[in-house]
């Protein structure tokens, strides 16, 4: 069993900002893919905003078990059609891992149904992530807490729905806290939001961040999901009712008519 | 304290279907408003699809504490701009009660981020709602179960996110079950989905259904919410950090620069 | 409508520690009751460990809508019989607000079914509580964050079940975080855990802490709950089945026989 | 990787009731173990009430990854000490699958902190389980619904805490519904309650029930959990604070003193 992970990167700051380019000479997406490949069960490839269909064609998504998403400056350039396509695949069972500034990506806001806003500060301050759910698979093998010496601050309130489970909470040097690891399921798809990953810092070069990402891919993988028919609302004809019933009363729909979508 | 409820009705089948017109001569929205007015703490008015801005102007929504939504045939005719406006008000604290076939309304799908699909059958069969959460305020004063002798069947799987709490589960004569009462919060807004209410049956004339709706309006009312600034992601300047910190490391944003939305 | 709150205090450190006695000359329980009485809808009385039945007789609990619990040194001296009695009342709909070191009280551990452990440090350090759920009734009227200049530190992991909702998260000067406001329902009873309240600091003299407690009492109050029969597993005789059924197959229990408890 | 499952059976009705003995000649626990062994990744053994320490010694539990529990008549005969030992192991990460009438077992009530009551009827009626969460690993490979032609009825309200997720809901011929598959985590331990399994019917001989049990064992297995220190509340000495702090203010505990348990 190999988990087919696809790392999507916006790939903009790498091209225009010297610091980011130095941090991630092959792009953030390539670095994240490298990190995933340290797990022999994961095969990781990449896609970027600049490719046709942003590298997220129907065919490509069908071959993807878990999609990771990093974006920041160019959320607005992602085509709505591609966003809907990704959402549909998540509902059908593809895992989705949303990284850092992708809290404001179209796909995350689409799946959360809430503003996904927060407060922020870029000061290279210390972030400490606490494992608040030590039994969760995404925390497997981690210490009670770990530090990122320089990170962008994200502060509460983070306007997302109450998660299934909270895995990490961050402490920031400047006085804020943030729920840094949150799990959701939408349809058959597992979703994990993971906060760290500001592009001007070497976050994805830290060994422990890689461990979290590999754990998250393994957790999000949902091999049993085959919920390909969850999008429509099919009629169950009266004569095929599981328990025999007789039609009664007035009726709006004619037999065989489709529902209103 | 009076709760300002606004009942939004699609108001289409009442105009074109004799059975629905007979059931609800003033429209379903007017009947639901009447039912709410039995609670002296609720003032209920109505709005319909056909009014300018569907009766949901900025000003009108600002004066609304809890919005109830019934739609079926014409979900697609609701303007996207109005849907976004309603979503924004929910995030700011307006309650929303979603009725029956409005599971497929744009506003419910927008706030859930999932397909909201189900299976259905129109056979006038018996539905029995069981209170599975007897301590929930929406179940106050209700018996353990109650029947609707003729209703449309909705069957699982209902592809919505795991709710905060499940209040009702329905048994159907033809062999199905359905989670008929589900609570959510999105931003500061309380959301309740309530299943019954097919337009060809006299559901909103049943006393106990009215009790559920009145309970739900009282539950969804959120007087303390003033979350008017939850949509944006403001920067917290370094020099105003609560705990004094010194800027370090590389920087992407210039001082005073806005974030990427 | 008046909410009948009962503040239970261990009342031990007030008697043997000069600092605590000076902080709370009438006892912590009396101070907390005073704070609640600032809300005209709340009538607050007190009970202590030293009273017969710890002041928590059947009759007293029946007249209580919301119970607040502060204990620290003497958890082990609370009679098991009283703990079960309180648990039963919570299941029937009495609210319960668990304060600070009562995370290790018998009643909280009884209702959570988990260790309720944490890490701690008594250094008079600064605690900052962030409102992570600004639409929750317990956060009504509060600012985005507030400070307690000197408090005991409690650090994650806090081994409690995933809550219904997280309302507050604390930042500590020494580097830790803690989920400081958590909601649960057990049976029909609403439960709120609120972290601050170390006895050597003037926490319950802070205006904003009082606001949280008054909000919590209003939130926990559950007037509709009458779940007095939730403790047993009654048989529903075959001949009284709602939908007519005919007995079939082998049978373990004889008609009229009670189940195994 | 092999998952070490241990099936605990009360083993009472098999000895005294001819119908149960005929259904399960080697005992229900042996039949359940057989069913698990159809998954090559599971090694299943058994333990019963009658063995010393009910077959649940410290050593035995240490070698157990997932414990399955079936009991009915003799819940009261399980030693409290063993119940606490099992609870402790669950908190440390052992999975627990609670079957049918074990809703009233000491261990389930201990971990839920609620009455775990329900309504019941033994009439050999038809039960239909609906998969309401098709993407959940416990539902992998299952059809949308499946029937047990003769089962005992369990009816709502089922007084358990709101679960992490609801996987199955049952429809009963006599008019009731029941949440038949519920997930929880307590400490690091995954818990699944599965409703079917009345001893006078051939439930554990049905292929699809076996599929659910095997899925549940795989889901509950938590190899990464090593939360062996979650039971106590350790002090973090001031001089070892992660962020340097200076002690201030009054103090209740002396340096090196233990907390109150």
Give the dihedral of Cα atoms A137, A138, A139, A142; nearest 10 deg: 120
Query: pLDDT, tens digit, for every residue of A42-90?
Result: 999 999 999 999 999 999 999 999 999 999 999 999 999 999 999 999 9
CB-hemisphere CA count at 13 Å for B78?
Answer: 31
- The pLDDT value recorded for residue B236 is 87
Query: pLDDT, tens digit, for every residue of A149-206?
Result: 999 999 999 999 999 999 999 999 999 999 999 999 999 999 999 999 999 999 999 9
Edge-to-edge strands, sheet with A95-99: A42-48, A3-9, A66-70, A95-99, A189-194, A177-186, A165-172, A119-131, A145-155
Interchain CB distance below 8 Å, C243 and D200: no
Burial class (CB in 10 A: 0-12, 13-18, 19+), B228: exposed
On the question of pLDDT at D228 being above 60, the answer is no
On the question of pLDDT at B118 being above 70, the answer is yes
Q: What is the pTM of this model?
A: 0.95
Reported confidence tier of residue D112, pLDDT bands at 50, 70, 90: very high
On the question of pLDDT at D167 being above 70, the answer is yes
Mean local confidence (pLDDT), C167-180: 97
Reported confidence tier of residue A228, pLDDT bands at 50, 70, 90: low
Identify all chain D residues contacting A139, using CB atoms and an 8 Å cutoff. Answer: 224
Reported confidence tier of residue A250, pLDDT bands at 50, 70, 90: confident
The DSSP output letter for A51 is: S
Mean pLDDT lowest for which of A38-47, A141-150, A238-247, B105-114? A238-247
Residue to test with chain D: of B156, B159, B172, most D Cβ within 10 A: B156
Question: Which chain B residue lies closest to D119 (C-alpha atoms)?
Answer: B144
Choose among D135, D145, D190: nearest Cβ to A187.
Answer: D135
On the question of pLDDT at B256 being above 70, the answer is no
**Min CA distance, A164 vs chain D (Å)?**
7
Share of residues in chain D with pLDDT > 70 (%)? 95
Which whole-number Å values give the CA distances from C144 to A170, A177, C55, C125, C242, in the listed order? 17, 12, 38, 20, 52
Please give the Cα distance from C45 to C64 (Å, whole number): 10
A118 touches B233 (CB < 8 A):
yes
Max Cα distance, chain C (Å): 73
Report the 10 Å Cβ neighbour count for A52: 7
B185 touches B161 (CB < 8 A):
no
- The pLDDT value recorded for residue C251 is 82
On the question of pLDDT at B46 being above 80, the answer is yes
Mean local confidence (pLDDT), D235-247: 89
- The pLDDT value recorded for residue C229 is 64
Mean pLDDT for chain D overall: 93
Please give the Cα distance from A244 to D95 (Å, whole number): 40
- The pLDDT value recorded for residue A256 is 56
- The pLDDT value recorded for residue B223 is 86
Mean pLDDT lowest for which of A233-242, B72-81, B181-190, C70-79? A233-242
Reported confidence tier of residue D223, pLDDT bands at 50, 70, 90: confident
Please give the Cα distance from B237 to A140 (Å, whole number): 36
Query: Within an 8 Å CB–CB cutoff, is residue C234 touching chain D?
Result: yes
Interchain CB distance below 8 Å, C189 and B135: yes
Phi and psi of C108, rounded to 5°?
-70, -45
Reported confidence tier of residue D152, pLDDT bands at 50, 70, 90: very high
Choose among C130, C158, C176: nearest Cβ to A156.
Answer: C130
Query: Within an 8 Å CB–CB cutoff, is residue A224 touching chain D?
Result: yes
Please give the Cα distance from C87 to C91 (Å, whole number): 6
Reported confidence tier of residue D183, pLDDT bands at 50, 70, 90: very high
On the question of pLDDT at C252 being above 90, the answer is no
On the question of pLDDT at A249 being above 90, the answer is no
Positive or negative CA dihedral for B241, B247, B251, B256?
positive
Reported confidence tier of residue B229, pLDDT bands at 50, 70, 90: low
Please give the Cα distance from B248 to C10 (Å, whole number): 49
- Residue A178: in which H helix or E strand, if any? strand A177-186
On the question of pLDDT at D227 being above 90, the answer is no
Mean local confidence (pLDDT), C38-43: 98
- The pLDDT value recorded for residue B259 is 61
Interchain CB distance below 8 Å, A157 and C134: yes
Mean local confidence (pLDDT), B67-89: 97
B214 touches B44 (CB < 8 A):
no
Which whole-number Å values give the CA distances from C134 to B133, B152, C137, C161, in the listed order? 25, 38, 8, 22
Mean pLDDT for chain A overall: 93
Please, which chains are in contact with B (at least 3 CB pairs closer than 8 A)? Answer: A, C, D
Choose among B118, B236, B243: nearest Cβ to A119.
Answer: B236
Query: Within an 8 Å CB–CB cutoff, is residue C141 touching chain B?
Result: yes
Interchain CB distance below 8 Å, C252 and D161: no
Query: Within an 8 Å CB–CB cutoff, is residue B233 touching chain A?
Result: yes
On the question of pLDDT at B254 being above 90, the answer is no
- The pLDDT value recorded for residue C236 is 87
Mean pLDDT for chain B overall: 93
Please, which chains are in contact with A (at least 3 CB pairs closer than 8 A)? Answer: B, C, D
- Residue A177: in which H helix or E strand, if any? strand A177-186
On the question of pLDDT at C226 being above 80, the answer is no
Query: Within an 8 Å CB–CB cutoff, is residue A52 touching chain D?
Result: no
- The pLDDT value recorded for residue C231 is 73
Which of the two residues, A235 and A130, has the higher pLDDT score? A130
Mean pLDDT for chain C overall: 93
Share of residues in chain C with pLDDT > 90 (%)? 85
Which of the two residues, C212 and C234, has the higher pLDDT score? C212
Please give the Cα distance from D135 to A223 (Å, whole number): 9
- The pLDDT value recorded for residue C1 is 74
Question: Which chain C residue lies closest to B172 (C-alpha atoms)?
Answer: C243
Identify all chain C residues contacting B140, using CB atoms and an 8 Å cutoff. Answer: 223-225
Which whole-number Å values give the CA distances from D147 to A146, C122, C250, D32, D102, in the listed order? 49, 58, 18, 19, 21
B108 touches B69 (CB < 8 A):
yes
Interchain CB distance below 8 Å, B222 and C135: yes
Which whole-number Å values give the CA distances from D97 to A7, C114, D177, D217, in the listed order? 36, 17, 21, 8
């Amino acid at each position: 069993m190999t988990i087919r992970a696809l790392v999507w990167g916006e790939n903009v700051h790498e091209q225009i900002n010297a610091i980011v380019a130095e941090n991630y000479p092959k792009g953030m997406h390539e670095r994240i893919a490298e990190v995933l490949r340290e797990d022999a069960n994961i095969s990781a490839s990449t896609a970027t905003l600049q490719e046709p269909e942003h590298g997220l064609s129907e065919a490509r998504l069908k071959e993807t078990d878990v999609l990771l998403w990093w974006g920041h400056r160019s959320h607005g350039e992602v085509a709505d059609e591609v966003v809907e396509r990704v959402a549909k695949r998540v509902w059908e069972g593809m895992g989705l891992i949303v990284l850092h500034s992708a809290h404001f990506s179209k796909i995350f806001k689409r799946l959360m149904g809430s503003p996904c806003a927060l407060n922020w500060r870029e000061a290279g301050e210390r972030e400490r992530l606490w494992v608040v759910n030590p039994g969760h698979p995404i925390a497997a093998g981690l210490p009670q807490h770990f530090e990122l010496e320089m990170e962008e601050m994200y502060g509460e309130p983070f306007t997302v729905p109450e998660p299934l489970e909270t895995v990490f909470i961050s402490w920031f040097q400047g006085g804020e806290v943030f729920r840094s690891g949150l799990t959701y399921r939408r349809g058959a798809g597992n979703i994990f939001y993971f906060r760290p990953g500001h592009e001007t810092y070497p976050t994805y070069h830290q060994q422990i961040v890689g461990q979290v990402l590999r754990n998250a891919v393994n957790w999000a993988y949902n091999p049993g999901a085959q919920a390909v028919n969850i999008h429509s609302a099919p009629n169950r004809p009266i004569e095929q009712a599981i328990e025999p019933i007789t039609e009664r009363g007035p009726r709006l729909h004619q037999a065989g008519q489709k529902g209103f979508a």
